[in-house]
């Protein structure tokens, strides 16, 4: 079964066999694929790129909230900072999960034929 990258990321599937789950809980990552035994937890620093991507997605997701809050609703800066902070706190675990899976998928795509 061939699976697209977007579908594989959102379905939490292994990029090698398309069957095993990358995460066994919401934030708990499997060390290996339950189906094909592929290693997910690689060397230290392997997921640093995914953490940086998650940070940028999180930071840039605040911009529309600030713009709409400031110009449309005319909210005070303190309230905008509070709303943005809550948004980042709520989004961080979600973005961590999906950026980690995406990182695995991208690594698989770019190194599959090497």
Q: Quote the pTM value.
A: 0.85
- Cα dist from 69 to 60, 61, 82, whole Å: 15, 13, 12
* Domain residue ranges of the chain, discontinuous segments joined by +: 5-111
Name the CA radius of gyration of the chain, rounded: 17
With bands split at pLDDT 50, 70 and 90, how would you rate the model's confidence at 2? low
pLDDT of residue 1 exceeding 60, the answer is: no
Residues 6+ apart with CB under 8 A from 100: 22, 29, 47, 50
The mean pLDDT of the chain is 92
* Tens digits of residue pLDDT in 66-112: 999 999 999 999 999 999 999 999 999 999 999 999 999 999 888 87
């Amino acid at each position: 079964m061939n699976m697209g990258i977007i579908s594989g990321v959102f379905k939490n599937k292994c990029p090698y066999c398309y069957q095993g789950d990358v995460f066994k809980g919401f934030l708990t990552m499997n060390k290996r694929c339950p189906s094909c035994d592929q290693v997910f937890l690689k060397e230290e620093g392997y997921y640093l790129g995914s953490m940086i991507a998650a940070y940028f997605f999180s930071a840039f997701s605040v911009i529309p909230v600030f713009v709409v809050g400031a110009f449309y609703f005319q909210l005070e800066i303190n309230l905008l900072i509070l709303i943005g902070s809550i948004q980042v706190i709520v989004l961080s675990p979600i973005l961590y999960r999906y950026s980690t899976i995406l990182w695995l998928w991208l690594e698989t795509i770019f190194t599959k034929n090497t």
